[in-house]
Amino acid sequence: MPTPPLAEGVSPALYTPPDRHASALLRDIAWLAHTPDLVELAPPIPCAGRPTLFELGFAEHPLEQWLLTLSKASLAGAHDPRATRLGHYHERLWHIMLGNAPGTRLLARNVRIAHRRNTLGELDMLYRTRANPTPVHLEVAIKFYLGLPEGPGDARSQSRWIGPGGLDSLALKASHLHRHQLPLSATPLALATLAHWLNPRDTQNPLDQEVTLSQRLAMPGVLFYPWHTPLPAPCGATAEHRRGRWCFLRDWPALAQSLATPFTLAWLQKPHWLAPPGQHAFRLPRVVMPAIQQQIAQRGPQQVMLYLPEQQRFERVFIVPDDWPRQVPLPPAQKG
């Protein structure tokens, strides 16, 4: 099979055997490093975006070359074959990157903030860069949202963009990050918990000194636009966010015919929704679509990736049941 072209920030070198499992991890890390955030949060949260390739140390050390030097020990634990939680897998990829990149050091992960045995929340990660010793609180989320032509709010409302299961929305996630997850690290309780990282020089009275902690958010993913009708990008969406399309199962034949060029298809399985899979995963639509249709009927929306060799490109598509969505999350409650 020929090596796939450069796609979604993944170098063809990372498709090379011999270790297919390791190659999939490396491709996913490369995809993660290159994939833009979906949205920018509104003020007043003083939060910057994801760690940049420069901060990670890949200005002098090319990312693809660094990935190929990672040992099996570095990759160990990134993916438990028994676990399919996309969020957990995504976090582990960040652990590998921040813990092994030449420009960063991972200080802590999943830091529990509690008061009198009640958990108030967790801070995803704490890291620092080689250029700046100030610890950084990083929250991460990976999201795949489908846009509704009709739904809550106006055409650009974040509430119109929902998860394939209909339980989550871009509006709900952005609100939770804005109101809870990011502000949590600035609370006195969190600063006390993090004291030995924030003020390593004064372990006896760490909070007697001025505490500094910056916040970052990494929220990569894909926004899937409806195939059958136009829909604008949601408010706050970054200009460069990754895009896909979604269609009803009844419309799949028309979508496939509209491509007007031969293509192969790969059925994406969690947690590997990130980088395009190896060419071994792509098959003729007539071979794989019967099983996909059965899964859609039994379990709901399924994500596929198309490879169009004549155009040397990949395209993501979510295929959903004809009665989708069966539920739409309510918009986040307004602050009183």
In a domain, 216, yes or no: no
pLDDT, tens only, 94-131: 999 999 999 999 999 999 988 877 888 899 999 999 98
Mean pLDDT value of segment 251-279: 94
Contact 168, 329 (CB under 8 A): yes
Q: Is position 75 within any domain?
A: yes
**Quick check: is 165 in a domain?**
yes
Q: Is residue 90 part of a domain?
A: yes
Percent with pLDDT over 70 in the chain: 87
Q: How far apart are CA 145 and CA 161, in angstroms?
A: 5
What count of Cα atoms within 13 Å lies in the side-chain half-sphere of residue 312?
A: 6
Q: Is 217 domain-assigned?
A: no
- Compute the half-sphere exposure of residue 245: CA atoms within 13 Å on the CB side of its CA: 16
Check whether 61 has a pLDDT greater than 90: no
Under DSSP, the state recorded for 310 is T
Number of domains in the chain: 1
pLDDT value of residue 5: 46
**Domain assignment of residue 96, yes or no:** yes
| pTM for the whole structure | 0.91
Q: Which of 243, 253, 305 is nearest to 279 (CA)?
A: 305
Give the domain extent around 44.
12-203+233-320
Average pLDDT on 15-28 reads 75
In a domain, 327, yes or no: no
The rounded distance, in Å, linking the Cα atoms of 192 and 215 is 16
Is residue 298 situated within a structural domain? Answer: yes
Q: What is the pLDDT of residue 102?
A: 94
The phi and psi torsions of 119 (rounded to 5 degrees) equal: -80, 120
